[in-house]
Amino acid sequence: MRLLALAIALCLALPVHAEGFISRLLNKPVPGGVAVVDLGPAPNAPAARFQNKPVLVIHEDQQRWIAIVGIPLSVKPGIEQLLVAGKTREFEVGNKHYTEQRITIKNQQQVNPNAKNLARIERELSEQTHAYQQFSARQPSNLLFDRPVNGPLSSPFGLRRFFNGEERNPHSGLDFAANSGTPIKAPAAGKVILIGDYFFNGKTVFIDHGQGLISMFCHLSAIGVKLGDELPRGGVLGKVGATGRATGPHLHWNVSLNDARVDPAIFIGAFKP
Ligand code: ZN
């Protein structure tokens, strides 16, 4: 008995493989999630690409490089490949069920826009897609983000949405309930790479946190920054509002990695499987 107790005590005392804090927190490999892929030790950061787009690579625990890969909502569960210095590394994408939401919009133009509005929407979409595709060399100041506002979470990421009974794009971000005028703070440092007043998103700010990690904030009542501004972590970028297609004041926050919109809840430790 004493030997057994000693053996158990020894086992408990043995060091286990220390998986990094960031890896554990961010690794949610599902459609609309994030895959953390270990690239091992190397003197310099290895270049990684997913779906032919450059991927965020960071040094973890001063020892190894890890790729933080955004998985588009459209990816099916199964094996995916990351291209690292000419070689492939596989990772597995699991399953996630996203629920449905039905929304009634009074302004029919916001559900079935006319030709003039469709042309505007297309133009604005390409402008925003271009912003998501930027890849700057800077290292993100922090990958564990601060909440941009203090309000409670309302609509989650990935909801399948029906506007007046018609299915539209799934919810690309995370909503916070907050009063109009509430200041919105940058969840990490970054550069303002796009500002707009869009048909669907209303007053909008894009912030580049570095290496394809990009935040978008929309439906703002007021924008407090200019194009090209550098924001510190916690810097105020604007105020909560209800501009664009919104049923009431709230903050809609998108997080994009390698041009894939992913669940912002992952970055604030609020992910629900
Ligand atoms: Zn939203």
For residue 30, tell me if it sits in a domain: yes
| 50 and 131 in a common domain | no
The span from the CA of 192 to the CA of 268, in Å, is 21
Neighbouring CB atoms inside 10 A of 141's CB total: 15
Domain boundary, last residue among 93, 120, 149 = 93
Structural domain including 167 reads 100-268
| 206 and 89 in a common domain | no
For residue 1, tell me if it sits in a domain: no
Domain boundary, last residue among 64, 93, 122 = 93
Domain boundary, last residue among 46, 71, 93 = 93
Instruction: Give the total number of structural domains in the chain.
Output: 2
- Give the distance from CA 258 to its chain's centroid: 10
Task: Check residue 131 and give its pLDDT.
Answer: 98
Report the helix count and the strand count for the chain, using DSSP H and E.
3, 20
The CATH number that applies at residue 46 is 2.60.40.1590
Provide the 3-class DSSP secondary structure of residue 4.
helix
Expressed in angstroms and rounded, the spacing between residue 175 Cα and the centre of ligand 1 is 5
Strands 213-220 and 202-210: antiparallel
Task: Check residue 4 and give its pLDDT.
Answer: 54
The CATH number that applies at residue 115 is 2.70.70.10
| 113 and 88 in a common domain | no
Task: Check residue 61 and give its pLDDT.
Answer: 80
Expressed in angstroms and rounded, the spacing between residue 172 Cα and the centre of ligand 1 is 7
pLDDT along the chain (273 residues), means of 10: 52 48 90 96 94 95 91 97 94 96 82 90 96 97 96 94 86 97 98 97 98 98 98 98 94 98 97 94
Task: Check residue 15 and give its pLDDT.
Answer: 38
| 40 and 167 in a common domain | no
| 105 and 87 in a common domain | no
| 87 and 28 in a common domain | yes
Task: Check residue 5 and give its pLDDT.
Answer: 57
Expressed in angstroms and rounded, the spacing between residue 173 Cα and the centre of ligand 1 is 6
Expressed in angstroms and rounded, the spacing between residue 93 Cα and the centre of ligand 1 is 25
Expressed in angstroms and rounded, the spacing between residue 107 Cα and the centre of ligand 1 is 17
- Give the distance from CA 68 to its chain's centroid: 11
List the structure tokens of 19: 């998986």
Q: Token pair 């912002």 is at which residue?
A: 264
Expressed in angstroms and rounded, the spacing between residue 149 Cα and the centre of ligand 1 is 14
Q: What are 44-94's pLDDT values in tens digits?
A: 999 999 999 999 999 988 889 999 999 999 999 999 999 998 899 999 999
| 83 and 160 in a common domain | no
Strands 56-60 and 260-262: unpaired
> What does 239-268 look like in DSSP terms, one character per residue?
E-B--SS-SSSEEEEEEEETTEEE-GGGGG
The span from the CA of 192 to the CA of 214, in Å, is 10
Expressed in angstroms and rounded, the spacing between residue 77 Cα and the centre of ligand 1 is 25
